Amino acid sequence: MIFLVCCHHISLEHLSVSGKHKFLGYIRCKEAMPQLCDLAINVNGQQTFFINQKVLSAYSEKLKKIVRREKRKSHIKNSIIEIDDFPGGPDGFELVSRFCYNHGEIKITVSNVALLHFCAVFLGMTENVSTSNLLKQTETFLDGMIYWSWQDTVSCLKSCELFLTNADSSGLVEKLIFSLLGKIAYNTDIATLAASSSSSSSSPETASRFRFSSPSKTTPESTKPRSSSKQWWFDDLIILPPMIIERVIKNMGAYGTDNDSLILTKSLLHFLKMAVLQCKRGAKRAALYSRSAYAGLADTAVHGVISMSCSFSCRGLFSVLRIVSGFGLSKDCRAKLEMLIGGMLDQATLDDLLVSGHDRGVFDVNLVLRLMRIFVHSDLLSSQKLKKVGTLIDKYLCEISPDQNLKTSKVLGVAESLPDSARDSFDGVYKAIDIYLESHPTLPFEERSRLCRCLNYEKMSLEACKDLAKNPRIPPDIAVQALKLQHSKISKGEYSACVKDVKGPSMINSSGMVLYNGDGESLSPENVQDTRMNMQWRVMELEKACREMKRRMPKLVGHDVNVMRGTTPHYSRSPLPKLC
C-alpha cells in the first residue's frame, strides 16, 4: 500500500466546508501516523505532497540535501518545502514518489520514460544512492529505442513537449531525433528527396548530411511505417512542437537558406498551415507557443519557395504569403516573396489580392501597394500585362471601398499606382469612388474633391459622366470639369465648339439659361442645387447632340470622301446641330 497524500496549496479559509473536513481528516491521519507523513513538499507552486522523508531520501540524495537545507533555514520541524522547476510538475513528482514507495519498481513505457528520466536526472537518482535506481532503469529502456516502432519514437518525442528545457540538458531529445532520422533514412529514397529540388544545387552533399544524422545500426523491418507517401514522415511529425521540428530539419542540413527540397518545403507549409488553424480554433497546444516560435520554420519554408519559384503559381505564392505572414517572418524573406508575387501580378485574381489586414482595416491594402510598385518597375512589363492589372485593380478598389476604416489616401494610392495607359476607361475607378463616398457619408467636402483627382475625365464614357453630373455625392466643380471635357470630345468631330475657356464668359443656351459662369473651383456649396440643375440640362443637350452625330455619321463619312475627290455633295451645306 502506498501512503501518498497530496493537496492543493491553499489556506483553510479558502476551503469549502466539505474541503475543510477532508483536510482536517488528513491532519488527524498525519498526527496518528507521523512515521508515514513527516514531510510536506510543494511542487512548482501547484500541489503540496505529504510523504515519508526516509522513503524518498533512500533513492534521491538531492532530495535529502534539499530537506536538510530548508529545515536549517526555517528552523521549523514541519514546515513546507518548496521545489521549483520540477520536470513535469506534480505529475512528475507523483510518478517518482510511486517508484520510491514501490521499492524502486515502476512500469516504464514510451509515454512516461522521458518524464521519469528527467525526474531522475533532476533528483540525482543514481546508482551511488541505490542500486537499480530510476536513472539506470530509464537509461536501459532508452538504449533500446533503435528497435522502437516509428510511432513509439514520435510519441516519446511528443511527451517531451512540456519539459523541453530539461530534455535539452539531458540530451534525450537529440537521441530521439537521431532515431527518427535513422528510420526516415531507412524508409525513404534519399536521392528522391534530394532530387525534389528544382535547382541543380541539390547535390549528394545534402543526402550525405542527412545520412550522417542517422544511427549506424540497422533499423529493423518492423519499425518501417506503413505509408508509401514521399511525405509520410512529415505528416506524422505534425503533432510535434515547432522547436523539435526545427531540430529535426537542422539535423537534416536543410534549415534556413540551406533548404532546397520541394518535398520538405511543402511539408513545412502544411505544418505551418495546421498551426494557423489550431491558433484560430484556440487549441491548447497552440496556446503554448507564440507565433514567433515558428519564425525559423517560416523562413526555411520561404527560402525553399524562392529557390524553387518555378514550381509555384501566382495563386500558390499568395497562399504561401497568407500562411507565413503571421509567424514573425524576417524582412528579407518577406521582401523576396513579395518580389516574386509582384513580378507575376498579371496572373493574379481578385481573390488573391483580398488578403486579410493585420491592422484596423479589413484588407491588407499596404501589401497591394507594395506589389503594385514591384509590378510597375518590373523589367518584362508589357502594355497587355499593364491593362490586365489595371482591370484587376479597378475591381479591387470596388471591393475594398465599403471598408469603414479605409482612408482616402489608401484609395488614392491604389488608384494612382498605375499610369493612365493601364486603363482604356476610368469608369471602374469612378464606380469605386462612388461606392466609397456612399459608404463614407460624413467625408468632408475637401476630401471628396481630393478623392476625385485620380479620375481622368477624358477616358470616362458619356454614361459615366452623366451619372457623375447627377451624383449628389460628387462636388459640383468636379462634375463641371467632367462635362466640359466631354463637350470637348464631341466638339473635336465635325462640329465647331462654341464653348470658350473655362474662365471666360458664361455659357448660355438658346433659351438664355446660364449653364456655367466663372471658375469651377469657385463654386460654393450654397449654389450646388442650381448648378446641378444646369448640369443635368447640359447632359440632356449632350445626349441629344450625340444622337444627332450618330444619325449623320454615315453622311459625314461620305462627305470626307467627296472632298478628297474634289466634289461637294448637296447635303454638305446643311447646317450641323449646334451644341450651344
What is the tally of helices (H) and strands (E) in the chain?
27, 6
How confident is the model over 273-295, as pLDDT tens digits? 988 887 777 655 555 577 788 99
How confident is the model over 156-189, as pLDDT tens digits? 999 988 888 777 777 888 999 999 988 888 876 5
Q: Is the pLDDT of residue 211 over 60?
A: no
Nearest to 512 by CA among 536, 479, 492, 537: 537
Q: Is the pLDDT of residue 248 over 60?
A: yes
- Give the confidence band of 35 by pLDDT, cuts at 50, 70, 90: low
How confident is the model over 10-22, as pLDDT tens digits? 333 333 334 433 3
Q: Rounded distance, CA 476 to CA 486, Å?
A: 15
Q: What is the pLDDT of residue 272?
A: 92
Q: What is the pLDDT of residue 285?
A: 54
Q: Is the pLDDT of residue 431 over 90?
A: yes
How confident is the model over 468-500, as pLDDT tens digits? 888 999 988 888 887 777 766 665 543 443 333
> pTM surpassing 0.95?
no
Compare 306 and 489 and report the one with higher pLDDT: 306
Q: What is the pLDDT of residue 283?
A: 57
The C-alpha cell at 22 is 477532508
* C-alpha angle 336-243-284 in degrees, rounded to nearest 5: 105
Asked whether the beta carbons of 262 and 197 are under 8 A apart, the reply is: yes
Dihedral of the CA atoms 62, 63, 65, 67 (nearest 10)?
A: 170
The C-alpha cell at 281 is 480554433
The C-alpha cell at 419 is 499610369
Q: Rounded distance, CA 477 to CA 531, Å?
A: 9
Q: Rounded distance, CA 214 to CA 265, Å?
A: 21
How confident is the model over 337-376, as pLDDT tens digits? 999 999 999 999 999 999 988 766 789 999 999 999 999 9
Average pLDDT over residues 186-215: 43
Asked whether the beta carbons of 256 and 307 are under 8 A apart, the reply is: no
The architecture of the domain spanning 26-187 is 2-Layer Sandwich (3.30)
The Cα-based distances of 366 to 18, 301, 344, 356, 539 in angstroms read: 61, 23, 18, 11, 39
Q: Is the pLDDT of residue 501 over 80?
A: no
Strand 5-8, strand 507-508: pairing: unpaired
- Give the confidence band of 231 by pLDDT, cuts at 50, 70, 90: low
Q: Is the pLDDT of residue 44 over 50?
A: yes
**Which stretches of 516-527 are DSSP H helices?**
none
How confident is the model over 409-419, as pLDDT tens digits? 999 999 999 99
**Which stretches of 37-88 are DSSP H helices?**
53-57, 61-74
Average pLDDT over residues 103-126: 93
> Is the CA virtual torsion 164, 166, 168, 173 positive or negative?
negative
What are the DSSP calls for 329-389, one per residue?
--HHHHHHHHHHHHHTGGG--HHHH-PBPSSSSSB-HHHHHHHHHHHHT-TT--HHHHHHH
Task: Give kind and range of the element (H or E) at residue 507.
Answer: strand 507-508
How many whole angstroms from its chain centre is CA 493? 55
* C-alpha angle 140-146-148 in degrees, rounded to nearest 5: 90
- Give the confidence band of 544 by pLDDT, cuts at 50, 70, 90: low
Asked whether the beta carbons of 203 and 277 are under 8 A apart, the reply is: no
Q: What is the pLDDT of residue 513?
A: 37
